Structure 1
């Protein structure tokens, strides 16, 4: 019986060592995205012109054209167009129609008015932050990490749409 107990203990210890030594540490999605964004900004010489979001959540924006007049306020109505592309490949995922723009009050521009079969409406506060930095006629570029667009596990930040 003593030999069986010793053998069981030895087997348990050996299995514990084998399984814990094979455990691989992965970088978090935030770390991977932040490194990719930093590399993109440096590669494209955007370091001086990119503005990190005020809340330091991970996105950057760049005012391409400031526009004219006064800065937008949350209560102002705006028409805007959006083009969402992959940072690594440039593959477009969403582009507004050439014949129309999206319109909303600036305070509500964090919700994309997506018309599809899904009931999910992506929440992207970076759009509102960039629009608040513009004047009428202005344009901006936003670099948004995937974890802010799709969440840590790939599901989009949503609110229910009863369309």
Structure 2
């Protein structure tokens, strides 16, 4: 009887920890602290950006074009996009077209891209906790391109997903 109960508990534990997405990625439910949310709001106010909406996580976004078709990507989707990433100083740290599994990206992109469809275009204002947090990001030569605790701004066009 003891082995039966133990086996049942292991079964329940295994399936309760199983990833719901089926691809190894699941919703993180990370929320930026109030101080970071206020810093993003201050940036938006200072720059007269009044059309940005706020997600419950503290991500701010502007949907310029929602895109076409049915459905949006999910965390398991292979997304193709073109983007420009910059610091709030305006310094561009990356600009490219790329493809990757959405669940493998930073939390701000994971949350933002769920809001548009194929052909959609948006701007994301990502607090540090939803980006790289206290980790600084360096280029191949070792130069810091994203300082620790940076607010990031992404202009993103979702080319396709599957």
**1:53 alignment partner in structure 2:** 55
Detail structure 1 runs of 4+ shifted over 4 Å in the superposition. 29-32
CA 1:63–1:95: 2 relative to 1, 3 Å: same
> Residue 52 of structure 2 contacts residue 60 of structure 2 at CA under 8 Å; is this kept in 1?
yes
Q: Distance in 2 between matches of 1:156 and 1:137?
A: 32
- CA drift of 1:81 comes to 1.9
Question: Higher strand proportion, which one?
Answer: 2
Q: TM-score, normalised to structure 2's length?
A: 0.53
1:13 aligned partner: none
The alpha-carbon distance between structure 1 residues 138 and 78, as it changes in their structure 2 partners (threshold 3 A), is same
Q: Distance in 2 between matches of 1:110 and 1:84?
A: 18
User: Is structure 2 residue 74 aligned with structure 1 residue 92?
Assistant: no
- After superposition, residues 1-163 of structure 1 pair within 5 angstroms as 30=33, 33-47=36-50, 49-54=51-56, 56=57, 58-74=58-74, 76-87=77-88, 89-96=89-96, 101-104=97-100, 108-112=101-105, 124-151=106-133, 154-155=134-135
Structure 2 gap ranges (5+): 1-31, 138-162
- The structure with the larger Rg is 1
State the SS of the aligned residue for 1:150: coil
Computed over aligned residues only, the root mean square deviation of the Cα atoms, in angstroms, reads: 2.7
> Taking structure 1 as reference, are residues 110 and 51 closer, same or farther at Cα in structure 2, changes over 3 Å only?
farther
Contact in 2 for aligned 1:110/1:127 (Cα 8 Å): no
In the TM superposition, residue 63 of structure 1 has moved relative to its aligned partner by 0.8
**Deviation sequence 1:97-142 (CA, Å, 0-9, x none):** xxxx2123xxx32434xxxxxxxxxxx1221222111121111111
The CA distance in 2 between the partners of 1:50 and 1:82, in whole Å, is: 18
Task: Return closer, same or farther for 1:130/1:137 CA change in 2, 3 Å cut-off.
Answer: same
How many residue pairs are counted as aligned between the two chains? Answer: 105
- Calculate the TM-score normalised by the size of structure 1: 0.53
Where does residue 9 of structure 1 map in the other structure?
Answer: none
